[in-house]
Amino acid sequence: AGVDDFLTRLPKVELHLHIEGTLEPELMFALAERNGVELPYADVEAARAAYDFSDLQSFLDLYFLGMSVLITARDFHDLAMDYFRRAAAEGVVHVEMHVDPQAHLARGVSLDTVMQGLISASRVARDELDLSTAMILAFLRDQPVEDALKVLEQAGPWLEHFSAVGLDSAEQGNPPSLFREVFARAGQLGLARVAHAGEEGPPSYIREALDELDVCRIDHGVRAVEDVELLERLSDEGVVLTVCPLSNVRLKVVDHLEQHSLPRMIDAGLNITLNSDDPAYFGGGMRDNFAACQRAFGWSDETMRWLASNAIEAAFMDESRRDALR
């Protein structure tokens, strides 16, 4: 794609991104060298070749392995800057990043280390790239609920930097309702709520996230198409869905992009946004996700503008910034 094409120039807002999922193999190897960490890959090409996933869990295994090279605040700064520069170059103007503190605490990396690096990178992004950012404190749903509560308490000093809490990692068998108390506490602390639901899990998890966690956005939500009443509710309530098309293909949520339920979701009146999830692992950033969908579904430029606009309206950003992007 040219640097000056319509989809690159279209101002894009990313609402569903895991910052640890932006770690490209090149930087992974550079940080492994810097920190003396052993990787189970011979080289960058071997790492990319290993990214051949059969489901969410097979991805999560390599996602948690990859982040083992992130040790110092400088590592987290470099991780985020590397991504912010790529994102800005493809026309991304605002990024909301999920952060997985539990994945770092479990390796002996403190929350201070993580936050210092991500906050300094966010400042550079704003000052040098005109890229605004927000952070989402994500809980690992396959870990004990008590750990999530502990992380939320520990995040006290950093709370002003978070816009919301989120819920990620292995979905099946880990329903949203387990985290009711954690999310209620987050609400009391003034944080918005989002949750992954209906990626691999059933439509009932989407209902639970809405009813028990009081979320304003559903991350993924693609299995909503299996439940007509749920579709109607999502449409009536204007619930924002952060859909990640290339992620869904790579994690075999769908066989081919052409079979993705996105067109049906749009026909059902849902408030859809397009996002990249873990671009270093799923073979493409925001522009690639937009381009792949436009090609697969034959969408007009007007539809692409509508999708980008939905994300601007749903973002955790100042009204002045939103006005500037409208």
Residues that bind ligand HPA (CB under 6 A): 18, 21, 56, 63, 168-169, 196, 199, 247, 277-278
State the binding partner of 91 from Zn ion, ligand HPA, none, CB within 5 to 8 A by kind.
none
Q: Which position's Cβ is nearest Zn ion?
A: 277
Tokens of 231: 């579709």
Among 20, 171, 199, 200, the one annotated catalytic? 199
**Is 199 among the catalytic positions?**
yes
List alpha helices for the chain, DSSP H. 6-9, 25-35, 44-50, 56-66, 73-89, 101-105, 111-129, 145-154, 180-188, 203-212, 228-237, 245-250, 262-267, 279-282, 286-297, 301-314, 319-325
Q: Which is nearer to Zn ion, 277 or 288 (CB)?
A: 277
The b/e string for 77-108 (b: 16+ C-beta within 10 A; e otherwise) is: bbbbbbbbebbbebbbbbbbbbbbbbbbbeee
Cβ-contact 7, 87 below 8 angstroms = no
When CB distances to ligand HPA are compared, the closest residue is 168
Do 41 and 62 touch, CB atoms closer than 8 A? no
Tell me if 278 is assigned to a ligand binding site. yes
Please state the closest distance from residue 98 (CB atom) to Zn ion, in A.
7
Place of tokens 């770690």: 23
Q: Are 76 and 61 in contact (CB under 8 A)?
A: no
To Zn ion, the closest distance from the beta carbon of 278 in angstroms equals 7
Spatial contact of 199 and 55, defined as CB atoms under 8 Å apart: no
196 is in an annotated binding site: yes
Residue 77 labelled as part of a binding site? no
Residue 169 binds which of Zn ion, ligand HPA, none (CB < 5-8 A, kind-dependent):
ligand HPA
Cα distance between residue 63 and residue 159, in whole Å? 25
Contact partner, 199, from ligand HPA, Zn ion, none, Cβ < 5-8 Å per class: ligand HPA
21 binds, among ligand HPA, Zn ion, none (CB under 5 to 8 A by kind): ligand HPA
From residue 275 to residue 304, what is the string marking binding to Zn ion with x (rule CB under 5 A)?
A: --x---------------------------
**Which partner in ligand HPA, Zn ion, none is near 56 (CB below 5 to 8 A by kind)?**
ligand HPA
CA distance 277 to 285: 8
In the range 261-280, which residues lie near Zn ion by CB under 5 A? Answer: 277
- Pairing type for strands 12-18 and 162-168 reads unpaired
Indicate the annotated binding residues for Zn(2+): 16, 18, 196, 277
Residues that bind Zn ion (CB under 5 A): 277
Annotated binding site: 16, 18, 196, 277-278
Instruction: Catalogue the active-site residues.
Output: 199
Binding site residues for substrate, as ranges?
A: 278
